[in-house]
Structures are given as C-alpha cells and as structure tokens.
Structure 1
Amino acid sequence: MATAKKLTENHLTCVICSEVFTAPATLQCNHTFCKSCLLKYINTQPEAVQAKSIPCPSCRQLTKVTNPDSPVEEWVSQLKPSHVMQGLMDDFGPGTKTVEEHVCSVCTKQGKTTPATSWCSVCDVVYCEGCLQLHNVMPLLCDHEVAHLSDHTKTKVKRRFMCQVHRDKPIELFCKDCKRAICTICCSVKHRACKDVDTIESMTPLVKEQLTSKIETLGINIAAANNILTWRKSKIQHVKSNSQTLKDQVMKTRETVMRAILRKEKQLLHDIDKATDKQLHELQADIKSQEIELRMYQQQYEFTANAVTSNCEVDMYAVYESMGETSTDNRDTDSRPTPGRVAFTQNLDKLSKAVDELQLGEVQVIHDVSDPGSSPVLHHTIDCKEDGDGKDPLVRDVTVLTVDGIKVTVVADYDNNRLKTYYTSNFKSFHNQLLLSNYPWQIAKLCEHQIAVSVPDSKEIVIVNVTPGPVLLSTIKTSKDYYVLACLSPSQLAAGGYGQSHCVDILDMTGRRLRSINTGVIGSPDYIHVTRNNNLLVSAGGVTSLVCVTSEGDAVFTYTPTGDRALTCPLGITTTSTGDILLVDYDSHKVIQLTQSGQFVRDVLTQQDGLEYPRGVCLDGDGLLCVTSERYVKIFKFCAAEF
C-alpha cells in the first residue's frame, strides 16, 4: 500500500492540476499530463497553435502533431500514454483495488462475491476456480497466460506486454523509425514502410540501458534542482535581511540629513542672536550717551534760568558770555546712525528646489555577476593618485570591507609602498594611507575589519586594522619572500612566492610553515584565492593556466584553454556567492567567468568596457565588481540585459 501510494504521489500525478492523471497523455519528451490540463495549457499558448506543435509545460520541448490542420482538441485526443505509464495506471491508478479486495470479475456481474484465485494477464481479469475452467475451455482464451494469486503474498504477477490496438496480441517487435513497441499485426499493417524493425528481445537491453542512463541524468537534475531550491529558499532569508538592512541605511541617511539641517538651523539661530546682541549693545550705548547729554542740557537750563531770575547783572552777563563758548543748537533729530534691522532672508523657491533635488540614495536591483543574462555597467572609478605619492600609483590588489556600516575599499599601491583606504561617510569622501616598509603585493581579508598584506621584499606579512583608516597592528617575519597571500582559516594563511618549487606553503599566524601544497604547472604564483569549499585557486602571469587544488594538495582541475580563449597573462582571482570563478587576464584586458569546476562561461569584462591592464579583482557585499586598472579601481554593477 505504501508503494502504491508513493507511486501515485510521485509518478501518477499531473504537475498542472496536482491530481491523479485523468486520461493521461505522454508527449515526445516523455512528460505526461492530463489531456484536459494539456488542452487548457495549449489554448494559452498562441505560438504553439501557430507552430502546429504541442509545447511541453515542463521542459518546453515541442511535440509534432500527426494532423496539424485538425482542431487542437484532436491534437490532444490523439496522444496516448506511454506503455510504462499505462501499466502503472492499470496497476495503481484510480479504480484499482488491492489484491485482498479482489473477487471474481465474472461472478461480480452476477451479483456474487466469490473470491478470485487466478488472474489472466491478457484479459486483465481475476477469476474464481469455476470461472477459470470456463475461461480455459474457450478456444480464443485457452492460450492466455494465467497466474495463480499467492495465498501468502497476494501479489499481482507481472502483466504481459500486450498491444494496445490489438488487445489479444503480445508486443514482439520494436519500430526504431517510429520509436514504438508494436505487435506483428501493427508491423504488417501500419509499419510496412518503416526500414528498421527489431525484436523486443534485442531491443530490451538497449532500452533498459538508455532508461538507466536517463535515470542517472534525471537523478543529477533532481539533485541540481534540489540544490537550487535550497539555495533559493536560503536566499529568501537573505533578501529579507538585506531589505531590513537597506531600510536601516535609509533611516540612518535621513538622520544624517536631519542632523545637517539641524546644524544649519542652529547656525542661523546663533547668527540671529549674535546680530541682535550687537544691535542691543549699540542701542544701549546710544541711550547712555543720550542720557548724559540730556543731564548736561538740564544743568545748563537751570543755570541760565537762575541767572535770568536772580536780578544780578553780574551773574546774567557771566552766563551770557559763556553761551558763546557752548553750543546750544536747537535740534529735534538724532544725528547718530540708526542700527540696522536684523532680517532673515529665505528663498522659498530655491529651498523647495533643493528639497526636491535632495537624494538620500538610490534603490536599485543589483544582479549577481553569476547570472549569465546580466551585463556590466561602470558604477564609479576611484583614482588612487594622492598627494605625497612619489610615483604614479600601480594598484596590484583590492578588497572591500564593511566597517561599522561603512564600505571601505582597500588597495595595495605597489609603486608607492602604501596601503590606501577609500570610503564615504556623511556625504563626504575620505581617504587614508599607511606607509609600508616595501612593495605590497596581495591583500588577504581576515575579517570585516582586519587584513593581512604580503610585503615580499622585506620578507614580511603585515596585519592591518581598518578603522576605517589603515592602522598597523603587527608584523610577521617570514623565512621566504612570499608574494601571494590568502586566508585559509582564522588561524592559517596560504602563501607562495618565486622559486617555491611548484608549491604554496600553509602558515600559522606566526609565520611558521605547517605544510606545503603542490600547485602543478605553476611554480611561482602571482595570485591565490581560497574558494568557499576551501580549495585553492592559483594563477601566474607567465603560465597560461589556472590551477585548482584542495587544501591538502590534491588536484581538482587545471584550466588551460586554447585558440581564441587561450589565456595570455592570468592574474587576479575571486569567486562569486554561487561559487563561479572570476579570473583576470592582464594582456587581453579581460575578466573571465568560469564555473566552479573550471568550465568557461563568458567574458564578463573586456577592453570595450573601459578595462585596461587589469590585475586585482574582488566582489563587495552588494555584488559590485572591483577591478584594478593601473592607478585606478573601476567598480562595475550588473543589470539585467536589455533585449
């Protein structure tokens, strides 16, 4: 019962209606559907009617119809289920009963419930002992193959392979031209013009072999589909988490803008207070001066009035004579300048326009570079030439970190012995640099705020904290001049250099060599990268190959294309979230995409994308691709291709 249920659920269910097949029809691709479901589907596909073919709803493969000029309903009605599907439907489909429930089919028609003891594989009917005797004496039925139903297992025996057209004739032949199993009558009537007909016995091993191969292919496809489903489901959580992160960034940006507005408001209020205080101070000084002058006039007034009313001519003439020395101009206006009025001038049109043009950011869908339908678009370019550089920068490597929510681009400037960081905060761009003892070569990301940098000419590996400026944390002295560097684990580094006898050394964080890994054809690697499976990808400009080995040194693959795809100078390497490999080819000005197993996919970037002599490459957390190009870092985003 469990087997029958499993067969029904997994093999006898239409993928369109999710119900057990009703009048099943099998297409040339061997996918089976209900005829009614298939008819409804075809009616929604006008291009199918125009092409005179039936498209498979599952794989889109076309099935040619025998009579294209007939109505679509006849196209579907002429389709038959495969022999395998028909057998399953007969044995386990709707209306079938378990053997325990079988009673004699002949007796049932007579209203009796006699237990069945035998089954005719040709008639596909069960009989009791009495009805079986009648069956066996009939001339047309006596040669049928009859099997007894086991009292112990009650298991139905294998059904004979009988012709669907001539029900009493066994299938004995196979027409290779029509790819159909047929009986002798079908062969003589309908397949006379066919050139290649063989016996079922001869064809069965070949058919079984092909079906076995098909099973293996389907098994691989099922595993791949399950992996894709698992990845898609995990992506849902990532999308939700990313959405919340982006919302937090928008709100943080809004808060930053509000802080800037509040700063401007505070400054304007301060300016008003300052101008008002100045005005008040001037007015108060004028009032004090005016009060002094008023008291002087009052004193002169009293002195003069007393002289006039005293009847003393001496005093009167004394006052009169003093009037010539003191100004007594009559004035009813103040000659002092009036303090200016504090005013707040606002341009509402300009303010409204500024608010309208205010950009907190941009929401866009960034496609993954692994999507073969995506196309690169230059997002922006970082010029690594800075004040204090003695030479034009030569950026050998690049990586991107996220430090306290700030995206920081870190570059190794080979010619200026510097490690440089670039980032944007509060709408302002910043850059910092750290002077090293010698030429930096490759950057290994240890975590989101810490990197290791190889300095081969000094036989050093420096550990740097990114805060987001670069701060030297420690220096590891090495016994060899290691050029390439990658993080294998939190406690181990993979490092290699010139003359290392085709090997990469695994080091601990003190620089002590733990073991060596054979890198095959590459003796002096220029770049190294650790995949998500902890495999090592190694390249060298002088070797036209990309080598992949396990962390124990077992070979995985060596990519050595020829012809137009031949590598000229492979350098920087990185991998995508899906495991695809991105490889820089310096002399051909390309970034090449390979599958995880080293199969060519496409040229992601070329010289037509503005790429000149690339070296280092990395992907940031947002799917942007960063590539070094002489003194520049060029950052590309990927959008859906327009057709």
Structure 2
Amino acid sequence: MATTSDEQAAGQHYLVCGNQDCQRNGQFYCNDCHQPMCEQCKDEHRESPDTKHHDIVLYRQRKHRLPIEKCKLHPTKNVDIFCRECKSPLCLKCFLGKEHKGHEFDDLEEIYAEKYALWQGEFSKIQKYFLPTSEDLKTDIKEDVKEIKKIMENIRTSMKAEAESLKNLVDEVTSEKIENTHTMEKSLLQMLKSQETAYNDYIKYLGEMSDKFQEYLSTTNQKLLSSEILKLKTIPETSKPVPPVFTPSQFNKDNVAKLLGILNIPNTEPEKRKIQPMEAVSTPMKFTQKQMEQSKEKSDMKQTLSLSSSVTKVREYSVPGVDHAYHVSADKSGRVWVSDDGGNLVQTDLQGKLLQKIPTSERDGGYHTATQDGGLIYTDRYKTMILRITPFRRITEFIKTGDWEPVSVHSSHINGDILVGMKTDKKAKVTRYNKTGKEIQNIQRDNQGQELYKYPHYITENINGDICTSDISKRTVVGVNKSGQHRFSYTGQRLEFCPYGICTDVLGHILVCDIVSKTVHLLDQDGGFLSVILSTQQGIEYPRGVCVDDENNLYLGQWLTSIVTVYKYLQ
C-alpha cells in the first residue's frame, strides 16, 4: 500500500469499479456505499430504488470513510455520531440514552470528511508550496554564499592590485629621486674638480716663480738691482660646496590608507528575499524559457488527455539481438533502446529494425536512459562508472562513481539532470548529477534518519520533480521530492509485491511492473493506487520494463520473450 501522510489513517482507495464482476475504471464514487464505480455501474446505482438517492461524485471529490472506532462505554458499538453539546463522539446506544436527550448532533462522518479535506489541504500546502519554497530560498542563500565569496575574492584581488600599483609608483618616484641625487652629485663633483684643477695650475705657477726667484738670487747684485721686481698672483679663491639636504616625509599608516581604496558596506536597506504567494506557485521547479514552453505544451495536452476506459494494443514487434526485454527506453527520435539479462543493449526503430547493438556488462535493472539530445547513458557497475553514447555513436566515459555501484539511471526530461540509483554492500542511495556530470545531490535517508533504499534497480522522475524508484530488496516503490524529502512508499496490493520497471506519464501517473502478480500498476502522483492497467487478461505473463514515449504510447517488455508491446491507455 502507498503510505502518504494523508492516507495512512483512511487506508488505500482503488480506482477500480467496486462491483466484483466489473473491472472497468472506477471514475466515480458513492459516498453512502463508500465504493468506487464505473460510469455504467453508477447509472445502474442511480436507477435502483434502494440507492437512487445516494450521493455519487467523481472519485477525486469523494468523502473519506470514517475510521472504525469503538465506543468507550459500549465496546461492541462503533462511534459515528457527534454531540455538539458535549463535544464528544457517540455510538448509537449513547445517542439513544437519556444523558444526551435534547442535545444537537452531527454526522461524525461529515465532520471527519471536512477535517480530512482540511488536513489534506494543509499537507498539500506543505508538499507543494512551503517545503519547495523554503528549499528554493535555501538554494538562493547557497547561491548568495557563492556570490559573496566571489565578490570578496574580487575585492581582495583589487586591493592587492591597488597596493602593487602604489608600490610601483613609490618605486618609480624613488628611482627618479635617486637619479636626481646622481645628477646633483655629478654637478658638485664637477665643481670640486674644477677647483682642484685651478689649484693644480696655481701650484704649478708657484713652482715656476720659485725657480725664477732662485735664479735672480744667485746673480750679482748689479743684475738683481737692475731687474724688474717680480709680482706673485694671488691665491685663487674657491667656495666650499653646499651639499643637498634630504628631509624625510612625515607620514603614518593612516596616510597610506588614505592613498588606497576604501572598503565599506553601502548604507542601503537589505533587499528582502521574494517569497511567491501560494496562489502564484504552480510548480516548485525552476524552468528555462524552453522548458516553460514545453511545460505549457504538456499542460495544454493535459486538458485534452484522460485515462481511457480500456487499454488498447497498438502494435508489437520482436527486438533482434536480445533474449528478454528487461528494460525499455524511448528517445525523442522515435527509436527505442531495449536491454536483456545477457548484457545486450540494442536500438531499434518502431518497426523493430536493428539500428545498433552494444555489448555491456550489465544483467538486470534500468541501467540505461535516453537523453534529451538523442544520445544514451548507461551504467557499468563493475567498473563503477557511467558511459555515454552520443548521437554519432561514440562511446565515452562520462562519470566515475568511486566505491558506489551504479545500478539504475534516468535522464531528466525537465532539466537534463542525471539521476543514478547506486549501492554498496550495505548501503544504497540516489545521486543527482548535472548535464556535465558534476555531482550536485545525494539522497540516502528520510527525515528520521532511516535508510530510504536498499537496491534501487529502476529509477524515473515525475512531472513535479519527484524521484521514483523501484527497490527490489525493500519490495517498495519509494518516492521523494526534488529536495530528497520522503513523499511516499508504495508496497503493492497483496502480501507479496516485487516492483521492476517504472516510468511516469504526462499526467503525473506512475506506472510500475509487479512480477509477483504479473501486472502493471497505475499510481497517482502521490503514490496512491489507481488501477491495474495491464494484467494476464491482456496476455501479460512476465512484465519487466515499461516506458512512455512523447506520443503517450506505453511500451512493455517481458522476460522470456524479445517482444515489445505498445499500448494506448490515454485518450
């Protein structure tokens, strides 16, 4: 059974007619009989004198049945009446007693239905608005963290560049001043050199005059007396050089700080994060323009599509190169990929013509997925890697998963992300990668810290971003939202349930193979059982792989046969 929070108490409802002899879709619901019914049985119900006044509504508008609760005073009686005066639930025996005589009463089932609808609405708000919106705000904060780190690193880089520029200017000015000292020094030395030359010349002159005086002094007195008196030149006057004086600038740290840029926080009011009003939120996913256009096309399609009253076989064909059709992936080019338990992976056209065949090491599970660009991605658990085949048939190593074995893979039709179901000897998880192969999310435990998965061998994504996996070890279909929060667990309609291939359609239905009952189950978006869409009545024996293409055709692959069968179930 699916165990969503809004249906645990009321049990599981079925979109199959409540008439045991009728297997048609139960699109309607009798609130008095509390059973689903098809259109034909609904008409018969209204024509019957005993039931013509029953309240029959669409299944989605049904009132949920009051849970069975025994009266505390009369343990053999069920509680189904509410006393307004005493504000307490009563059984029929309490109602007839003297204690409540003259009181006003309400139908407890009506109250329960109203409360159920109210709580279901609140639960829906949490899942569809409050939780996704909070997660988006948290994502915005993470983006702001990245942006702040980037801005601060740019500021630091600018500061270093500015300081380096100032250093360069200081070096340049210092170099010019030092060059100026050399010029001054040269000028002063030239002046002193000139003075030194002048004194050298004068000393030479004094030597010559000394020789003349000595010559005169050695002559006769007659000659000395008759000679002209020699006159000496005066000593040349020179000036002492005036050396330049260096006066250091008076500066401090503040002076330097003023020369550099200023860092401060602008005096502006912080902008509040925008929270979309609840009525404006149509989906928690963020879309590109192209994705929004595709979403609009699908939305337009939803207005005209609904479940058919019966499933119609369109065609079937044998897939060459495989022994058993374990997993089926339909790509956008109108071609289909099929794998078996012998490691064979083949691509065919819609008539079954073989286009290409690839040997792999895989044996089971949903290990391949068609991509938006017409390529294919598949896993190799033994090499712990994911490989990619381009539209030009080139095989490349795409992602290495380390110690984790990839066992299932799905390429998102919403944003191209890669969802991978992985396991080790003791643990399992779902990892999200972006289109370039960068790991961006790991999903492993629920809010209580319990392990979500044991062996997620098939995986898909719903139109609301939910990740749905078939876990063969837990015998459960596990649904989580795009943030990894647990949404539901579906465990089938019998004591034994073993889910295999899983896919979703344009209306948000979940389709899953049960190899125990040899059926394909149709679930709603919340993991609630709607109907058995394929069974042995349609000749189904060993359902293993399912997928839905862009034309809303349902492809089914089975064990022990290479035949793929195509059905129409939407109209």
For the superposition of Structure 1 and Structure 2, which TM-score range results when normalised by the shorter chain? 0.3 to 0.5
Higher relative contact order (CA 8 A, sep 6+): 2
After TM superposition, the score normalised by the length of structure 1 is: 0.41
After TM superposition, the score normalised by the length of structure 2 is: 0.46
